[in-house]
């Protein structure tokens, strides 16, 4: 299981590193979204600062759609999906490997976006521990959910439009909890934030567990 997981994760990360899609397309897209929010709300700087957490996580979610689509696009060309099914790799390990690769890409993106939020929105970062845990649990939940719906959408013709329709509503609770926890961390009110962090940990555990079990049948149906 662990061997298969590491094999898939390292393969996906190596492909993403070589393709430069993350640095050349997804990161610029995310920064552009942040910038557009800044343009739209610029007349009221206070609103922008108050909404910074929510805007940050909306941007992460939109970027996740691209990252997940990319993760399954590499499996849909030239018979690679059949190759994956024939590989003998444990389906649960394939799920976890792909999800981990997406988590790592998203965490790097979140660092870039956090700098963008500070620069563009004039937000002050604080509550480091809570912010780190929020990012970790929220990113795991988002990536696990995205990977699960990614394999589901990859098996149909209208995959590009279907994935956001399936994924975004389901992951909305994660965005809500992540935004609240981030707000509490930035405001220095830890007592308000920890319940949301715990909720994020529960979401991450549930999505990862469900994905590990359900990925195999979904890979077969595609």
Task: Pick the closer one to another protein by CB: 86 or 158.
Answer: 86
Is 83 one of the binding residues for another protein (CB under 8 A)? yes
- DSSP codes, 130-191: HHHHHHHHHHHHHHHHHHHHHHHHHTSTTHHHHHHHHHHHHHHHHHHHHHHHHHHHHHT-HH
Q: Does 88 sit near another protein (CB under 8 A)? A: yes
The DSSP H or E segment spanning 120 is helix 91-121
| Contact residue for another protein among 45, 87, 122, 165 (CB under 8 A) | 87
Residue with tokens 């024939």: 86
Contact window for another protein (CB under 8 A) among 8-16, 23-31, 147-155, 157-165: 8-16
- The reply on whether position 183 binds another protein by CB under 8 A is no
Residue 104 interacts with another protein (CB under 8 A): yes or no: no
Site string for another protein, 15-34 (x = CB under 8 A): x--xx---------------
**DSSP secondary structure, 194-220, as one string:** HHHHHHHHHHHHHHHHHHHHHHHHHHH
Q: What is the DSSP letter of 24?
A: I
When the beta carbons of 122 and 221 are compared against another protein, the nearer one is 221
Given the rule CB under 8 A, which residues bind another protein? 4, 7, 11, 14-15, 18-19, 74, 77-80, 82-83, 85-89, 216
């Amino acid at each position: 299981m662990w061997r298969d997981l590491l094999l898939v994760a390292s393969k996906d990360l190596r492909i993403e590193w070589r393709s430069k899609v993350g640095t050349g397309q997804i990161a610029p897209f995310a920064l552009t979204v942040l910038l557009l929010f800044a343009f739209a709300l610029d007349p009221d700087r206070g609103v922008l600062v108050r909404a910074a957490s929510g805007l940050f996580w909306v941007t992460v979610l939109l970027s996740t759609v691209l990252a997940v689509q990319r993760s399954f696009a590499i499996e849909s060309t030239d018979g690679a999906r059949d190759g994956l099914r024939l590989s003998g790799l444990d389906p649960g390990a394939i799920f976890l490997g792909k999800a981990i690769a997406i988590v790592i890409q998203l965490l790097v993106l979140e660092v870039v976006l956090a700098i963008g939020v500070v620069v563009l929105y004039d937000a002050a970062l604080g509550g480091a521990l809570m912010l780190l845990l929020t990012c970790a649990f929220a990113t795991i939940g988002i990536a696990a959910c995205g990977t699960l719906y990614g394999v589901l959408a990859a098996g149909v013709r209208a995959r590009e439009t279907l994935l956001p329709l399936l994924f975004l509503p389901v992951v909305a609770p994660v965005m809500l909890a992540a935004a609240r926890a981030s707000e509490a961390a930035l405001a220095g009110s830890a007592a308000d934030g920890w319940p949301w962090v715990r909720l994020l940990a529960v979401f991450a555990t549930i999505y990862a567990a469900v994905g590990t079990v359900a990925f195999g049948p979904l890979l077969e149906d595609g």
